[in-house]
Each structure stands twice: as C-alpha cells, then as structure tokens.
Structure 1
C-alpha cells in the first residue's frame, strides 16, 4: 500500500492515526493543555503569551503583523491587545509613518512576565525534544514549513 494513501481522507485505506492534521492537532492540544496550566500560574493565558513571545523577538510591531504571526484574526487580536494594555503588559501608539497602523510594544511589566513565561514553558520544550537529534529537529521544522507552504495556494484570500 502506498504510504500516503492511509493518510488521505479520500482513500478507503484512510486511517486517522496516519492523518497528519489529526496528529498535529493532537500534539498542539496536548501542548496547549500543559502550557496553559503553567501560564495561568503566572497570570497569563495562551493568547497573551503568544503576543509576548512575538514581541520578545522584536518590539514594537504592528497589530496586524502580530495577529498574522499568532495565527489569530485581527478583530480577536484587537481585543487581546486591549486586555493586555489594561493589564500593563504592552503599550500601543499610532505609527508615525502610517496613522492607520497601531504599533504594539512590550511594557516593563510585559518584559518581566515574558521572562517568567519563558522560564515556565522552557522545560516543556526541553522535554518535548528528548530523543531528537539536532538534524532531526531541523528536518521537522523544514517539513512543517513545507506542509504550510504547500497549503498556501489553497488558502482563501482576504477580502
């Protein structure tokens, strides 16, 4: 049997445990339930953690850019940002280059909370990669990127 057929939902040989999206969803669900507990212990939820992690790479960033990186629609991201501003984790300002763009930056409290979140979630990542060689990890990252890129032409266009 062709190895791909058991993962193809259109084939009679289909098996759920060979379907990449089932496996990815199962992995992400397990991961989120583990880190959710750790983040809640330091007063964060997963959407806020995503924003802090994204801003931890580069701050400030536009709200739309953060929404895209966090894989959250812009209207939901706007509410998350408002909540985080109220909590003192981030600040917002209109871009000097384009007043339509809201720039979001880490506030000092957000930087502290980001450091706590990194400390709380790092052990989960370290446990996750047990048994993987560095080249296997790189291959995994490459394969996930390739799967994403393969879907890009099929994705609905905004507007």
Structure 2
C-alpha cells in the first residue's frame, strides 16, 4: 500500500475501515446492506401476512414464543426485535385473539411471562410456510456452505454489538 492509502484508513482488527462513507460506498457498507435486506424481507412478509390477518410484529412474537416460551416482556422485545411500546400493543392484540396468554411471575406479580397458546402455535404453523418461503428466496442460488459461513459471521457480529445476554 502506498502512503496515501494508509492515511485514508484506520485498521480495526483485521478489517480496514475507510474514514468516510463516500470512500467505501453504500454497496460496501454492511449496515446499509443489512437494512436494505431486512426492509425488503419485512415488506414482503407484511404483504403476505396481512392476507393471513397478522402483522410482522405479531409473527415475530409468535415465532420467538414458538421456540422460547414463557419469556418476560422485556426479553421478548429483545428476541423479537420489537420496540417495547409496539410490543405492548402487539401483545394486547395477540391476547385478544387468544394466541398468547400472560401470567404473573411467581416471585414478583408485577412481572408478566408470555406464553403461546395452542391457537397461537396453530396460527404460527399456518403462516410458517410464508416465512420459510421468504427465507428461501433470500438465499436462492447461495450454496449451503456459504449460507453457513454467513450465519456464523452474523452470530459473531451479534456477539460484538449486543447489549443483552439474549
């Protein structure tokens, strides 16, 4: 590398990070790409889930609870990546539809644990093909080993940035 190139970048471990976004460009800036991908993925799900009577937030909550049941609201907010205020309204709707139930904690009655009901599991299983198809579409043409490396990298990134133990 010549002297000018060294002056434009700062090493961060093994990755060289340009000093300006203009130097790297949007197509080479991972946060931009991740936001574009998730925006498109969520929009696709929004359109299809709307036909099934669910929002993306409701689907996320049911998805998480179908795997990790009995979470406290703040834990569910982290896992489902939903703002607390949005999650509160989402849970109200899911409870009104008998898809979840909330129970007071055994040690602290102010704490609420959220459980998916059988109707919630049935609903999630009904919409799972929509979610699975959207996931498959994102990875069309990508070999399994590349997909696995990508997931491993995402998990490393999540460990680097997360603020919660979840």
What TM-score comes out, normalization by structure 1 length?
A: 0.84
The answer to whether residue 17 in structure 2 is matched with residue 14 in structure 1 is: no
The answer to whether residue 129 in structure 2 is matched with residue 128 in structure 1 is: no
More strand by share: 2
Distance in 1 of aligned mates of 2:116 and 2:141: 35
Q: Please say which structure displays the higher CA radius of gyration.
A: 2
Structure 2 residues without counterparts, runs of 5 or longer: 10-14
The equivalent position to 2:77 in structure 1, one of 58, 62, 67, is 67
Distance in 2 of aligned mates of 1:12 and 1:129: 29
Structure 1 residues without counterparts, runs of 5 or longer: none
Measured at CA, do residues 100 and 127 of structure 1 come closer, stay the same or move farther in structure 2, by a change above 3 Å? same
Which portions of structure 1, spanning 4 or more consecutive aligned residues, are displaced by more than 4 angstroms? none
Superposition RMSD in Å: 2.4
Measured at CA, do residues 8 and 36 of structure 1 come closer, stay the same or move farther in structure 2, by a change above 3 Å? farther
Measured at CA, do residues 28 and 8 of structure 1 come closer, stay the same or move farther in structure 2, by a change above 3 Å? farther
Question: How many residues in Structure 1 have an aligned counterpart in Structure 2?
Answer: 153
What TM-score comes out, normalization by structure 2 length?
A: 0.80
CA apart distance, 1:76: 2.8
Question: Hey, what does 2:55 align to over in structure 1?
Answer: 45
**Where in structure 2 are the equivalents of 1:5-154 lying within 5 Å?**
8=18, 10=20, 13-152=23-162
Is the 8 Å Cα contact of residues 63 and 104 (structure 1) preserved in structure 2?
A: yes
